Amino acid sequence: MKVLFDHHLPFALAHGGFQRQLLQTKSALEQAGVETDFVCWWDDAQRGDIIHFAGRPAADYIAFAHGRGCKVVVAELLTATGSRSPGTLALQKYLTAVLRKSLPAAFTTRMAWDAYRLADACVANTGWEAHLMNYLFGAPRERVHVVPNGVEEIFLNSAPAARGQWLVCAATITERKRVLELAEAAVAARTPLWVVGKPYSDSDSCAQKFSALAKQQPQILRHEGAIADRARLARIYREARGFVLLSAMETRSLSAEEAAACGCPLLLSDLPWSRSTFGGHAVYCPVAGPRRTAGFLRKFYDAAPSLEPPPKPAAWSDVARRLKTIYEGVLNAPG
């Protein structure tokens, strides 16, 4: 079995958890005995049994793959879609049906709405997104599989440590992650906050405002940029008072699961991804302005030492075994 990974956006253009997710998945599969590679668009001699497409390919892409005898597994992160309200999702479903009937096929093909129906299997990070693949896009239920993110052993096996005064947020400093709003809430609530992460671009206005605020409030806000040393990051999670991530939208946060592996109490945005991932093992905050968020942040800060740690997430080796089973089922399916 040979699995080829493909994706629309080069890693050089946008860093983040998605890159780590894909690279860790590929590495874990190789350790599980699965041959892997990245799709080399310039190599017309490249062969593989399965394309694991991290995103939503066009119908033509899937048709060409099938024409070469290659199966396609679609693994898209429904980050924005999965964070919408039930009413908005119902409207999206209705409008999609209307547009399918009224617009030329050349346009709707570009939207790649048929990818879920045509793929040999679909992989979702959460049960909620698995539901949306069927509800919105018609993916056959029997072809949709829920596979969580994994966590590196360095987090799962990290040693307990005394917890300090800092809440930690590990995230790219961008508008979607709402790091600036979180920092403003931390200042208002007088809760020390350590932000680990960097922006996509230093010229980003949100990042510049956050940086200016951090310099103005060094007793409350700490920022050292991204931390590449995974052992140090695990130690930071172990020593943190709690972990906070208040994104406006998310699929399944790798940093939240790394913190959970280190026994760190969690405060997360009250969205379907977080509820379906952590259930009653986290504290939730509505997506609101800094003033309202400050109250939730202060309450979490005061309660964190007495909160039970969340359960351990899966290891990447567990993820690889589940994906390998899905791949084998795809290759053994008739037709």
Instruction: Check which CATH number belongs to the domain holding 171 and give it.
Output: 3.40.50.2000
12 and 145 assigned to the same domain? yes
What is the share, in percent, of the chain residues with pLDDT greater than 90?
81
146 and 165 assigned to the same domain? no
Q: What pLDDT band is residue 225 in, cutting at 50, 70 and 90?
A: confident
Is residue 303 classed as helix, strand or coil in its secondary structure?
A: helix
**CA torsion angle 21 24 25 27 (round to 10):** 160
**Does residue 84 form part of some domain?**
yes
**Which residue in 52, 62, 69, 2 sits closest to 335, CA to CA?**
69
Residue 147 Cα distances to 34, 144, 324, angstroms? 17, 10, 11
Residue 14 pLDDT: 65
Q: What is the mean pLDDT of residues 194-222?
A: 92
pLDDT at 218 over 80: yes
Q: What pLDDT band is residue 16 in, cutting at 50, 70 and 90?
A: low
**Residue 91: which residues within 8 A CB-CB, separation 6 or more?**
none
User: Which tokens go with 217?
Assistant: 């409030």
Q: What pLDDT band is residue 222 in, cutting at 50, 70 and 90?
A: very high
**Does residue 104 form part of some domain?**
yes
pLDDT at 13 over 90: no
Q: What pLDDT band is residue 70 in, cutting at 50, 70 and 90?
A: very high
State phi, psi for 22 to the nearest 5 degrees: -70, -45
**Does residue 311 form part of some domain?**
no
Q: What pLDDT band is residue 251 in, cutting at 50, 70 and 90?
A: confident
Residue 15 pLDDT: 62
pLDDT at 334 over 90: no
Q: What is the mean pLDDT of residues 215-228?
A: 92
Residue 269 pLDDT: 97
Residue 335 pLDDT: 66
157 and 299 assigned to the same domain? yes
pLDDT at 204 over 90: no
Give the span between the Cα atoms of 97 and 120, in whole angstroms: 23
**Which residue in 61, 52, 50 sits closest to 26, CA to CA?**
52
Helix intervals (H) in the chain: 17-31, 59-67, 86-102, 105-111, 115-118, 127-137, 153-156, 179-189, 205-216, 230-239, 254-261, 272-278, 290-303, 316-332
Q: What pLDDT band is residue 219 in, cutting at 50, 70 and 90?
A: very high
Mean pLDDT lowest for which of 2-6, 10-14, 100-104, 139-143? Answer: 10-14
- Most distant CA pair in the chain: distance in Å? 64
146 and 159 assigned to the same domain? no
pLDDT at 32 over 90: yes
**Which residue in 129, 157, 143 sits closest to 263, CA to CA?**
157
Average pLDDT, the chain: 93
121 and 46 assigned to the same domain? yes
123 and 193 assigned to the same domain? no
**Which residue in 153, 114, 139 sits closest to 262, CA to CA?**
153
59 and 109 assigned to the same domain? yes
Domain count, the chain: 2
44 and 65 assigned to the same domain? yes
Give me the residues paired with residue 269 across strands: 285
pLDDT at 165 over 90: yes
67 and 197 assigned to the same domain? no
85 and 165 assigned to the same domain? no
pLDDT at 289 over 80: yes
pLDDT at 34 over 90: yes
* Residue 68 lies in domain: 2-150+316-332
pLDDT at 224 over 90: no
174 and 190 assigned to the same domain? yes
**Does residue 178 form part of some domain?**
yes
39 and 142 assigned to the same domain? yes
Residue 100 pLDDT: 84
Q: What pLDDT band is residue 57 in, cutting at 50, 70 and 90?
A: very high
First to last CA, the chain: 18
